[in-house]
Amino acid sequence: MKAAAPAGSVPGQRPRLSFLVSHAYLRSNPGLRDLVFSLAPFADFLIDSGAYTNYTQWMKQVKTGRSDFQQITVEEYASACQDYEGRLWVYLTLDKISDPAVTWENYTQLLASGVRPIPIMQPGDSNEHYRVYLENSLNNRIAVGGIAGLTGSNSLNFGLSYYSHLFTLSGGTARLHALGVLKWPQMFQINGMRYCDTTTFAGGGRFGEIVFYDEKEGFTKCRFRNAAHVQRHRKMGNLLSFLRECRITTAMLSDPEFYRRNDSIPNLSALFAYLQFHAHAKSRDLTYFFAVSGSQWITTILGVMDCANEHTFDFPAAALRCKELRSMSKSDPGRCIEVCQDILRRKTKWQTLTL
């Protein structure tokens, strides 16, 4: 028997959206902080400690001898987590990349301060630490780090086997989160894999790629330099049909202007691909968190979603909507928040919480 839709939901609505936001950005960006806290009742916000930012800024300091970045400490993060508690979905522990010992020490200090972050396992950490992580983790959530940065021909196989090992070691109870990893279709095939996050869909605008997602074929990335390039693409028929449905013309594809703007064809098509993948992943019991670095990513995603249906989106309308939200976020932030809340209410099943 098919479960009834939650009260107030509308057929065709998308699943409740999920975002990952770094504490490093929240502490330095009041506008982002206001937006995240205001949208938290309508979307899931997972807080990352900022360990990657800590690491990159430390590397910058080593190379240049200077950095204005203030390293995130356990004490600071514990205080922040107390503020996040009950207001945002959940938060990760303060880890140190490639250092399970320091990650463990940070976690125990955070527990002692009265907060319960999602623990992070890394290759090389001990089974005893894993046991403690499971005992103290809410809903058996365990994040897994140290896989995204692996290189070499066997890195994927190692990562997949490590996830499976942790699930087996937990007695089949762990709810795993792959930090910084998105492999299709393997993510759907790993026992216990319930969450993942990447910046995959932020790459369209950066690299000029038009990204498509199909449930059967996965991701297709195309660098369209001109209309002729579209015609030669190996998936020409499907792509041209989709582009027409999105009201993206061959003239637009040939115009460099549509590749340079904030609301460019690559940027908005990638964000629509995110919406498609997120919905499909949810139907497969996998929650994908879009890792955002600023308010503009959230408002642009909502602008695209407001001009989308189940299968396609209206590119010209979405570009205009995103421009309106971007302008509004600067001239009237309060009004922008209200509009974003309204979009989430109308377009998503926001009442269905992620466990």
Per-residue pLDDT reduced to its tens digit, 119-157: 999 999 999 999 999 999 999 999 999 898 776 767 888
pLDDT for 231 = 57
Q: What is the mean pLDDT of residues 234-248?
A: 78
Percent of the chain with pLDDT over 70: 89
Q: How far apart are CA 198 and CA 179, in angstroms?
A: 7
Question: CA 71 to CA 106: how far, in whole Å?
Answer: 14
User: What is the reported pTM?
Assistant: 0.90
DSSP code per residue over 38-80? HHTTTSEEEEE--HHHHHHHHHHHHHHS-----PPPHHHHHHH
d(CA 146, CA 124) in angstroms, rounded, equals: 10
Most confident of 67-71, 174-178, 242-246, 265-269: 174-178
pLDDT of residue 354: 82
Give the pLDDT confidence score for residue 288 in this predicted structure. Answer: 97
Residue 267 pLDDT exceeds 60: yes
Q: Give 180-207 pLDDT, tens digit per residue.
A: 999 899 999 999 999 999 988 887 766 6
Higher pLDDT, 219 or 271: 271
Count H helices and E strands in the chain, helices first.
16, 12
CB 311 within 8 A of CB 279: no
Q: Where are the domains of the chain?
A: 204-283+295-348
Classify burial at 145, counting beta carbons within 10 Å of its beta carbon; exposed 0-12, middle 13-18, buried 19 or more: buried
Judge whether residue 24 has pLDDT over 70: yes
pLDDT greater than 80 at residue 232: no
The separation between CA 123 and the C-alpha centre of its own chain, rounded to angstroms, equals 23
Provide the mean pLDDT of the chain: 88
pLDDT at 4 (0 to 100): 38
Q: Is 267 helix (H, G, I), strand (E, B) or coil?
A: helix
* Alpha-carbon separation of residue 354 from 44, 50, 139 (angstroms): 7, 23, 11
Rounded mean pLDDT, 281-302: 95
Tokens 């001239």, residue?
331
Q: What Rg do the C-alpha atoms of the chain give, in angstroms?
A: 21
The helix-helix angle for 74-84 and 100-112 (nearest 10°) equals 50
Give the three-state DSSP class for 110: helix
